[in-house]
Chains A and B, each alone.
Chain A
Amino acid sequence: MTPALRLIDLCKNFGAAAVLDGLNLEVPESSVFGLIGPNGAGKTTTIKILMNILQASSGRAEVLGVDSRQLGPDALAEIGYVSENQDLPDWMTVEYFLAYLKPFYPTWDDARAAQLVRQFELPRDRKLRHLSRGMWMKAALASSLAYRPRLLVMDEPFSGLDPLVREDLIEGILESAEETTILVSSHDLAEIESFASHIGYLDRGRLQFSEEMASLTSRFREIEVTVDSPVRLPEGNQWPAHWLRPEAMPAVVRFVDTRFDAERTPLEIHRLFQEVRHIVANPMPLRAIFVTLARSRSKAA
């Protein structure tokens, strides 16, 4: 199956600063792909290159099988783009904004548009400039979902929104998830975790991993090892590279295993520590995984 999005050795420099450094990524069709990463990781730049807003310095980006530099009206009619950094024609009312966009999209669905307006409780006759931030984002999302796009790209859609608005947005997104591939970049990991099927972690312009959410959450575990006598952490090459953020207390060792395996991990622990009394492997929320990775990278750098 052709991926909905494909990035091949994508590089982007702003002057001497390399924002994207050989980024390779595939977003499967019909997935909800969460692109996460710390500030300055290159998420927005990646999305702007995908949408042909920015030009890559080198490499290639494909969107629905089309080179992003060649994205024309026909391809854009199948793509929705919602970004907190977007300027909308704020003199338009919500109703006129949707009516204005309708002729641009052959697949525009009036019933869907009306349903989104009702669902998001959008004030039809209010100008976009007079909408609250949450309403503004809902209007932007409604205008991008009403034509049932094959691909929806969202750049930080939840930032600065209250929980109720986030819930509304996610509900709207999920209703389209069956027919639409969704790429969403966000810092809001709890929200991403609630609906993303895939996760990509971007750091310093490079993709650190990209995998299904289930696989990710199953291989990350916070391990707590209780031992009978005080221990010291092994030094040098003895400590496995995939065990991050180790902490040693008199009778307890804690770390994050990034390749947890219910059979293999206990064996490795027993090999490294003597007199192991108890091993606890706690599942980690996405936020904890993100913090672990970000701090480890930061420490390594």
Chain B
Amino acid sequence: MHQALHILRKDVRHLYLEILLVWVLAFVLAWIGGGLAEVLLLATSAFLIGRLIHAEPIPGDRQFWITRPYRWRSLAGAKLAFVVSFIAVPVCLAQLAMVWKAGFPLAHSLPGLLWSQVLLLLCAWVPIAALATVTSSTPAFLSVAVFPIAAGLMGTGLPFLNRPWPGGLEWVRTVAAGAVFAAAAAWVCFWQYRQRRTTGSRALAAGAAVASVCAYVLLPWPPAYRLQSWLAPQPSDGASLRVTLNPVLFQPAPRFGAPALFHLPLTIGGVPAGDEVRIDVAAVTIESRDGRRWKQNLFSMRSLSAKDGSTQYDGGFPMEPALLEAVKSQPVTVRASVYLTLFGRAREKTAVIGEAAAVTVADGLRCFRDRFGVVYCQSVFRWPGELVYAKLTDTILNPIDTLISYAPFPAGFGLDPIETHWASGPPLSAPEVTLVMKEPLAFVRRDVEAREVRVTNGFSFRGQTERF
């Protein structure tokens, strides 16, 4: 303990200018919000961590401290204490200031604030430290750090990294990849300080980066859905829901070489009054008579109409030529596993909102409107995991952010805690706005099947079954 404090004091003395810069940027972030300040604060914090670790570099055989009576626990503890004291704390205070400035009650934001610190520590500060422990100098660290950033930026454009996935469940594969990454980073730090095995640590870090990407890309979504179902509070089991596979529609290829689309209209009935169903994904299998199969997942199915507790949905996917021929020439069997979420227990909150400042409309949501009447709502640390609509008139219910996450955590990853979304649709004419919120009640899977589907000149259908 004494030695750790001694090393910590030395690092503070050595890095006071960098510490000052982090504090200034944290203040700027708190004052003007995210964007450039967020990027600069993150970059400066990474630089400071690199400088901190390289005050006693791990790789190499020239550094003075390895022949001095340093205790590895003291050294690692001093570095951790430094990161917490001079990076995590200013970031936390900046977030706290932003929450306070945005008018959110601090007590309500506390779980998100704490979880945000855990995420930042595990997924940012520790991995940055791990990278620093396997490099011998700050220039080397900065050079190496360019690669993950470049890979990340390039990776977002690579199709195999952007495999479609149910939007609400995105958090599952992000957590899986992040857990691999964070665990490996923590282990690299531990291993380097304890054993100074740089070659092995570098191999582990590289392997973990690959494993993390693989976890993100290769993780199948059905188990994620089961996990989500298991996590759901289950105030409703969705037993009343009925899924009907409507006649399968074949749409011939339009002109100019666009692919033919295979449409899959669905009807979901038995939805309790006031509740709402969203299709997260429909896994479709088309089987021809000769046993050939085509599989396709539909991640986007539009809600076409709702009437008497039934809602019609439609989604489509491009047909490959072999499927097109099979569908044209003979009847096929169509099976679909439909994964859906039932939202309900609607709550309505009404408040008068103005342009000057946001007002609290509902728990965790503060709204304002601009001079054009567009309604904006803010939340802290994460957008609520429920459907939020702005009731702009008596008849118009417009969603505020349709891309919601079912993640059970109180915060997402990031420095800026304030999330702002707006309601699509016409501008608000009245001074007050009503927010309608529906929470997820159940995550349900329904398997349906349609046999002898023949598609000619539009569609043809004979016989259908439904399984639960």
Contacts and interface: CB of A to CB of B under 8 A. Distances in A.
Interface stretch (B61-69, B231-239, B252-260): B61-69
B349 interface: no
B61 A104 contact: no
A76 B66 CA distance: 9
B353 to A, nearest CB: 55
Given A91-B14, A100-B10, A104-B3, A76 B67 contact: yes
Given A103-B3, A103-B6, A79 B67 contact: yes
A73 B70 CA distance: 6
Contacts of B163: none
A74 B62 contact: no
A17 B2 CA distance: 44
Contacts of B13: 96
A77 B69 contact: yes
Contacts of B61: 48, 53-54, 85
B10 A103 contact: no
A162 interface: no
Interface in A1-59: 48, 51-54
Interface in A49-108: 51-54, 72-74, 76-77, 79, 81, 85-89, 91, 96, 100-101, 103-105
Contacts of A53: 61, 66-67
26 contacts: A48-B61, A51-B66, A52-B66, A53-B66, A53-B67, A54-B61, A73-B69, A73-B71, A74-B69, A79-B67, A81-B67, A85-B62, A86-B62, A86-B64, A86-B67, A87-B62, A87-B63, A88-B64, A89-B14, A89-B64, A91-B14, A100-B10, A103-B6, A104-B3, A104-B68, A104-B69
A19 B10 CA distance: 38
B25 interface: no
Nearest to A101: B68
Which 4 pairs across A and B sit closest by C-beta, in order of nearness? A73-B69, A81-B67, A77-B69, A76-B69
B268 interface: no
Contact of A104 (B55, B66, B70): B70
A100 B3 CA distance: 10
A51 B67 contact: yes
Contacts of B3: 103-104
A229 to B, nearest CB: 60
Nearest to A91: B14
Contacts of A52: 66
Contacts of A76: 67-69
Contact of A89 (B2, B55, B69): B55
B52 to A, nearest CB: 13
Nearest to B55: A89
Given A53-B66, A104-B70, 16 more contacts: A53-B61, A53-B67, A73-B70, A74-B69, A76-B68, A77-B69, A85-B62, A86-B62, A86-B67, A87-B62, A87-B64, A88-B64, A89-B64, A96-B13, A104-B3, A104-B69
Contacts of A96: 13
A79 B66 CA distance: 12
A51 B69 CA distance: 12
A48 B63 CA distance: 12
Nearest to B64: A88
Contacts of B63: 86-87
A48 B10 CA distance: 27
Nearest to B66: A53
Could you say which of B6, B10, B62, B69 has the most chain A C-beta atoms within 10 Å of its C-beta? B69
Could you say which of A72, A81, A87, A88 has the most chain B C-beta atoms within 10 Å of its C-beta? A87
A74 B13 CA distance: 27
